[in-house]
Chains A and B, each alone.
Chain A
Amino acid sequence: MDQFKKRACTNALMFTLTGLSCLISVAVLFLILGYIGYHGLSSLSWSFLTHLPAPVGETGGGIANSIVGSIKIIGLAAVMGIPVGVLGGVYLSEFGRKSRLGFMIRYCADVLNGVPSIVMGIVAYTLIVLPMKHFSALAGSVALAIIMIPMVLRNTEEFVRLVPSNIREAALGLGVPQWKVIIRIVLPTASRGIITGIILGVSRIAGETAPLIFTAFGNRFWDHGWMSPMSSLPLSIYNYAISPYEDWHRQAWAAALILIAVVLAGNITARSLVKRHRGTTH
């Protein structure tokens, strides 16, 4: 009986601890959301979303160019990073499972995943900004793509690997060539996990500031194409937050709110698309 009491006690203690840890981690999210909402909402207005920044010294103005810039830089990074990551992940899972090359790629991807993002910025700076002799959105996108690739790659590999081998065998046994088995059977089965990984990757690079500081650089006006400096939300937040002006601080909060909203909206849309895709079987 005593033994039982002790066990019940331990159980209650551990249950409370695990529950508390969950609460803390979720509470942090809501704390951040609430704090940013509290500070940001007051400065949020339609003109803030649709106008260029005001000249230095004047109050008001918006972040329209940062929103568009963020979407463009992230979009190009995704276009470069997603195919490489997904195809590489398929290679690792389907062909490089036990090979030496596969092991090496996996190891390198993990190391790359741990490299600080500012280093990726320096890489893009050296590879693109220095030869071109000016900052460019392209360099920013390349830096972000390099950050994204190992994440998408490893995630895709994990989820493709999770597809049960009996499903592959069923398809091979029907006389379907292997490449078709991968494209038509394995990838759709793993699609949910792959897309979730892509969403996580895109969300991660959407908030990256450091690699953009000396690549995309930022711009207080509309950009002049991929080869020119371009503004982005994290850069604007950074620039406004470190400024000495009260008005800019308020704008930094509002921009942060927008950034979070954009990332959240992207997540929810992508997730519901995956759900709908899997819901209908016709």
Chain B
Amino acid sequence: MNPVMEKLVPAMEAPVRRTEPEEKKEPPIASTPPPRELSITIDNFSAGYGHGNILKNVKLSVYDRQITAIIGPSGCGKSTLIRCINRMHETHPTATHEGRIELQGKDVFSMDPVLLRQQVGMVFQRPNPFPTMSIFQNVAAGLVLNGVRNKATLAGVVEASLRQAALWEEVKNNLHHSALDLSGGQQQRLCIARALAVNPKVLLLDEPCSALDPIATGRIEELLLEIKQSLTVVIVTHNMQQAARVSDYTAFMLMGELIEFEETDKIFTNPSDPRTHDYVTGRFG
């Protein structure tokens, strides 16, 4: 039953994907990209704390192996939105949500949150390596804590993940030093390596560079462009240049609503909503 359902659900999703380009009133300029696989579909989704809603009826499609940036002024609900995708939102005692989020056609709210989070990794605003663990243990943590014991497997995954996060060359001789010995930028790349080590399908990044200097930021952006070959990336950022530099699609949010979701070029050169225009040109926010 289950495998059949799994095959059926994406097939049922297919029409939604095909209608997507038609919903855009103005067709994208010149070269229309080929239709992409959907990774995450957010439909009619609201969420908040207690009685107030922070997100209101958000509808958003995230494409597979693309970088989707979510921009908007502080408090617009960007972080809440991505924290709902891996259900971190509901770890808050008064959190509420309503509506649907699907990961490759499967409703995330009917999945076990632990299994969901193994598929949807997250990198947070401030680097948060585990303070009691070494660099090696940090990267291996997701596997070790879920029962992987084989030393050769762990060593292989740790090296591969650190290489993917462009940190291997800097730490390969100090793998057993405390993770706290690293600089802020290195710690953030360590957190990315740690998230990649469990082999997720999606990587969510919540303002990953807001505590970093421009050089460290540049390295993280390079590595995001690298890892999008193999997984879907959703990045929340305050920095519009960053969104313009790294993302393929950009969503602009304002006061809990999704104002516009388009290819990044279009958002920054020819947005259809005047509020998007005002924001990306620096009139407010």
Residues of chain A touching chain B, judged by Cβ–Cβ distance below 8 Å, are 98, 164, 166-167, 169-177, 180-181, 184-185, 188-189, 191, 278, 281-282
Contact = CB atoms under 8 A, between A and B. Distances in A.
Contacts of A184: 145
Contacts of B116: 175
A223 B146 CA distance: 49
The majority secondary structure among interface residues of chain A is: helix
Interface in B100-146: 114-119, 121-122, 124, 126, 128-134, 137, 141-142, 145-146
Given A164-B128, A174-B142, A175-B117, A281 B134 contact: yes
B30 to A, nearest CB: 40
A174 B120 CA distance: 8
Given A170-B194, A176-B145, A189-B132, 15 more contacts: A98-B93, A166-B124, A166-B126, A169-B91, A169-B124, A171-B141, A174-B141, A174-B198, A175-B116, A176-B114, A177-B114, A180-B145, A184-B145, A282-B134, A282-B176
7 contacts: A170-B191, A172-B88, A173-B88, A174-B118, A281-B132, A281-B176, A281-B178
Contact of A170 (B91, B130, B177): B130
Contact of A175 (B114, B132, B191): B114
B195 interface: yes
Given A169-B91, A282-B176, A175 B126 contact: no
A173 B117 contact: yes
B86 interface: yes
* Chain B: interface size category: 20 to 34
Nearest to A163: B131
A176 B93 CA distance: 19
A174 B128 contact: no
A278 B132 contact: yes
Contact of B194 (A174, A189, A191): A174
Contacts of A181: 145
Nearest to B145: A176
A8 to B, nearest CB: 39
Contacts of B114: 175-177
Contacts of A281: 132-134, 137, 176-178
B87 to A, nearest CB: 9
